Amino acid sequence: MKENFFKVLIYFIFCCLTFTCLGQNDSSNKIASQTIDSLKTIINGLNGLKGKIKHQEFLIRYLKELKKVDTTNNDADSLVIIATDANDKLLRKIELKYNSNVIDSTILFFSCEGLLEYGEVWTGNLLPTVKNAKKYIYNKRQVYRYEYDTKDRIIKSVIWLSTPIIRRQVYFYNEQGQKLLKKEKQHFFNFWD
């Protein structure tokens, strides 16, 4: 429902802009150009809001269903934090890996069926500071999400790799159950579509 609202709103803004710009003369082209730029900024903001809403949905579900958190150390330089629900199904997993100047972290959210649904990969780089205080600046390197059909087969994967372009893979299954793949490259604003 929320996605449809955003699509209708963007379409409405586009239509209004198109009809407004038709019939403009040369002296008013600057105003039309400024209007277009303003609308692009609004659309970018709406698309960013859509991503924040989806992320909040993952967090709310995680917090509502959380029953147990456990930690393990694979070695001296790593930590894994696992959160499960009342039935011991995986809700969220955080993997942290340290070296002297970098912290790599992966945050994974799982569906009610225990399938990987959303993930983020972050890197924290050590900043030079005074008096040996360690401060890191964090950058999101990768975001990905997956969708599944009723048979728990993957039907879509979407990956963002620190660029304005996303890689979308749509999977189809024929009558024999063989997986067929369609690859697409799209703008980041289409990440949740």
Distance CA 3, CA 13 (A): 15
Q: Are 142 and 120 in contact (CB under 8 A)?
A: yes
> How does pLDDT run across 87-122, given as a tens digit for each residue?
989 999 999 898 877 889 999 999 988 899 999 998
Phi-psi region of 37 (alpha: psi -120 to 50; beta: other; left: phi over 0): alpha
**Which of 11, 42, 63 marks a domain boundary?**
63
Give the three-state DSSP class for 136.
strand
Among 41-50, 131-140, 144-153, 159-168, name the most confident range: 144-153
Domain that holds residue 144: 66-190
Query: Are residues 102 and 39 located together in one domain of the fold?
Result: no
Clarify whether residues 155 and 97 are in a common domain: yes
Give CA separation, 45 vs 41, 54, 123, 130, 149, in Å: 6, 14, 25, 37, 31
∠ CA(75), CA(81), CA(122), 5° rounding? 85
- How many domains does the chain fold into? 2
pLDDT digits (tens, 9 = 90+) for 1-25: 555 665 666 656 655 555 554 455 5
